[in-house]
Structure 1
Amino acid sequence: MSKNLEQLTNRFVELHGESTEAIRYFNAPGRVNLIGEHTDYNGGYVFPAALTFGTSLLLRKRADNQLHMASENFSLNKTITLEHAANVKEDDWINYPKAILVHLAKRGFTFGGYDVLYYGEIPNGAGLSSSASLQLVTAFGFMSMEGHPIDRVQLALVAQESENQFMMVNCGIMDQFTVSMGKKDHAILLKCDDLHYEYVPFESKGYKIVIGNTNKRRGLVDSEYNARRAQCEQAVQFLRAAFPQLNFLGEINSEQLAANAHLITDEVVLKRAQHVIEENDRVLKSVTALKNNELHAFGELMTASHKSLQYLYEVSCRELDVMVEAALQCQGVLGSRMTGAGFGGCTVSLVHEDHVAEFIEQVGSSYAAQTDFKAEFYVADIGDGVKEEVI
């Protein structure tokens, strides 16, 4: 928790008053996806990692069934109950914790009343999973307070379900899984259709993960995201002429697509399929490169991923492209790409530690000169998944 714990505690008491009940502290990270974009909902591989900054939650039991919801990031504070809870526009950010608690309740988990305070360090709309972080810290915190058994994989699945069904966002499982299952100094190779996963040590040999925030909010992401999903489903339908049992694009490789590309008669749908299947292959190649300490190869795959997202999947934007191109001109950079759903948000670059300060100055200046935005940069360490902070 970067914000002083004492400050958060004082703010909690200021909002909710004194009590003989103890305050407990929880934290869930953000996540960065190193490579493997728009493969998760296509049953493919992703390679994300949990960050060391995220969302903090302070909880204290109440004698009634009310939830006194407050956040240091939003002006809206409100008292709610979970009875007849629904997604209503005026509840704004509170809909996210409501969503996960409602879906946990559907599984028979019960929750009493609590005084609640959130504090988030993840920029909203940056593509670093602020919503998954908020939901997982809620789930883990409330389940812990109630003494319910915690299955981290199941928590991730419930969080995804609640975002799909309560928030009406048709997301994959990657964000929730990473926030729940993250491990310090390890990335996660995750197969999204069956949730088979492997922790891979991220031994970067003097290179740092630098996240660049374009500060371009992802305005088109919801409608375009749903359109891309529909196009991928169309591609599956075309390819079933050759693979009758095909459920996801992630089930076939680049060679199989090349041999059957003629079956996809829509040019745009073919481009979408090509990105997903080739990106899936890039993820596996990148993990092999990392295990073999071939960081230059890893970086080249990152950059190839961006080009594919730019030209085949068409989810990049001018701001992301400007930042990636500026990054690739810098000394000490092995690779750079957009990360997240696209149309704004963040880039991720692999930068030698001796050149990080120069990188931030050079990319920041170039980006400001070419766009209407000022970039922000985070030198990222890989951290653990959601947890209780023991004071």
Structure 2
Amino acid sequence: MQGQMVEKFLKIYGGSEEGLKKYFAPGRVNLIGEHIDYNGGYVFPCALDFGTYAVARKREDKVVRFATLNFDLRVEINVDVIEYEEAHDWTNYPKGVMKMFKDKGHVLGGFDVLYYGNIPNGSGLSSSASLEVLTAVIVNDLFDCKEDMIEMVKMSQKAENTFNGVNCGIMDQFAVGMGKKDHAILLDCDTLAYDYAPLVLDGYKIVIGNTKKRRGLADSKYNERRSECEYALGCLQKELDIQHLCELDMAGFEANKHLIDREIPRNRAEHAVAENERVKKAVEALNTGDIATFGKLMDASHVSLRDLYEVTGVELDTMVEEAWKIDGTVGARMTGAGFGGCIVSIVREDCVESFIEEVGKRYEERIGLKGEFYVASVGDGAGVIG
């Protein structure tokens, strides 16, 4: 793919290969711990071995030219004028990251860049975070900004929050930037303390199922869920000295849930607290090789996201239900923000083929959409690749 990208880059922008640099940032899947990154909870994502590639070259002027092999739209801007423009569509993600570098006082020049992503767009596997962190790596490298990866992760999240108006937590960008081959990341989204946990799934595979129901995160009910959690937290803070919902354990929640005077915010808070406990138990299970318990916790996570947090929808629920029916499925749940996108399953290796065939067939019969399935390996985080 890289060879084709260089060829296409030279066709679009001209010149020679001199000064060309190559970059990669993965997609991510969250194994468990959904919708708690912004509630001070633990998440457990891993980087995937597919993602977003880029070829870039510095220019002598202040012009930045964006192109991708995924869409026809190409955009040209002056680095001195970086503003959100709806017509600029996907390029608002890299533009937002550039703005964060400028806001920190870095002096940027012009460059040409060509992107290509093999993360299905709108699938919930973090194509936007992958593009953001990739752009941070490019800018950092081309202009010798000397920012470390965690700082670039923070800048990428801030770009999505403030420039693109999506109130996401930091998990996606963190997993994309800090991923490690054959490891998942246990991340405290409040403090950014993290540990790598070996993801040794001997005899099992991670299978991602794409419902092909696209979800536009900015247009979804994501921000609404976040404000409902903030409301619940505000109610609890009248009597409790806490900064985040996930500071409570389930016993603490049960003792104080009466403080939340509305049912829907109470349900959202219950999910957050219970999901945080599930993450801790899931990591313990993996560390002791107890895949069966890990799978049961994944299943319970989906039920909570369906019933208490209400972010699944008929497509995700149907695909998960069909996954649960397959002999060899250890656990399955929605992953990502919800409202469409993907499920993640742990499947016994000898059952993967029948899993894909059976779940795909039944899902299409029930929903009328043809799902896609990816057997995923766990890869490294973003970086310069040549």
Scaled by the length of structure 2, the TM-score of the pair is 0.98
Secondary structure at 1:149's aligned position in 2?
Answer: coil
Contact 1:23/1:59 (<8 A) preserved: yes
Partners of 1:265 and 1:146 in 2: CA distance: 52
Per the alignment, residue 54 of structure 2 pairs with 57
The structural deviation recorded for 1:150 is 3.0
Aligned pairs, number: 386
Contact 1:188/1:199 (<8 A) preserved: yes
The structural deviation recorded for 1:374 is 0.4
Q: Counterpart of 2:187 in structure 1: which amino acid?
A: L
Q: Counterpart of 1:286 in structure 2: which amino acid?
A: A
Q: Cα 1:18–1:219, aligned 2, differ >3 Å: closer, same or farther? A: closer
The structural deviation recorded for 1:205 is 1.6
Contact 2:217/2:337 (<8 A) preserved: no
Cα-to-partner distance string for 1:33-81 (whole Å, 9 max, x where unaligned): 0000000011111000000000001011212111121110111112211
Q: Cα 1:20–1:201, aligned 2, differ >3 Å: closer, same or farther? A: closer
Secondary structure at 1:216's aligned position in 2?
Answer: coil
Per the alignment, residue 142 of structure 1 pairs with 139
Partners of 1:29 and 1:142 in 2: CA distance: 17
Partners of 2:124 and 2:381 in 1: CA distance: 17
The structural deviation recorded for 1:83 is 1.5
Partners of 1:220 and 1:111 in 2: CA distance: 30
Per the alignment, residue 168 of structure 1 pairs with 165
Partners of 1:315 and 1:116 in 2: CA distance: 36
Note if 1:282 corresponds to 2:272. Answer: no
Partners of 1:273 and 1:155 in 2: CA distance: 30
Contact 1:218/1:343 (<8 A) preserved: yes
Give 1:73's match in structure 2, choosing from 70, 73, 90: 70
Per the alignment, residue 353 of structure 1 pairs with 349
Q: Give the RMSD, CA atoms, in angstroms.
A: 1.1
Q: Counterpart of 1:230 in structure 2: which amino acid?
A: S
The structural deviation recorded for 1:84 is 2.4
Aligned-pair identity in percent equals 51
In terms of mean alpha carbon deviation, does 212-221 or 340-349 score higher? 212-221
Give 1:292's match in structure 2, choosing from 273, 288, 296: 288
Per the alignment, residue 258 of structure 1 pairs with 254
Note if 1:302 corresponds to 2:298. Answer: yes
Scaled by the length of structure 1, the TM-score of the pair is 0.97
Partners of 1:101 and 1:125 in 2: CA distance: 23
Contact 2:79/2:109 (<8 A) preserved: no
The structural deviation recorded for 1:219 is 4.9
Give 1:107's match in structure 2, choosing from 89, 104, 121: 104
Per the alignment, residue 223 of structure 2 pairs with 226
Give 1:24's match in structure 2, choosing from 21, 26, 35: 21
Note if 1:6 corresponds to 2:3. Answer: yes
Q: Cα 1:237–1:59, aligned 2, differ >3 Å: closer, same or farther? A: same
Per the alignment, residue 191 of structure 2 pairs with 194
The structural deviation recorded for 1:19 is 3.2
The structural deviation recorded for 1:387 is 1.1
Contact 1:140/1:150 (<8 A) preserved: no
Per the alignment, residue 90 of structure 1 pairs with 87
In terms of mean alpha carbon deviation, does 213-222 or 116-125 score higher? 213-222
The structural deviation recorded for 1:191 is 0.5
Partners of 2:206 and 2:159 in 1: CA distance: 31
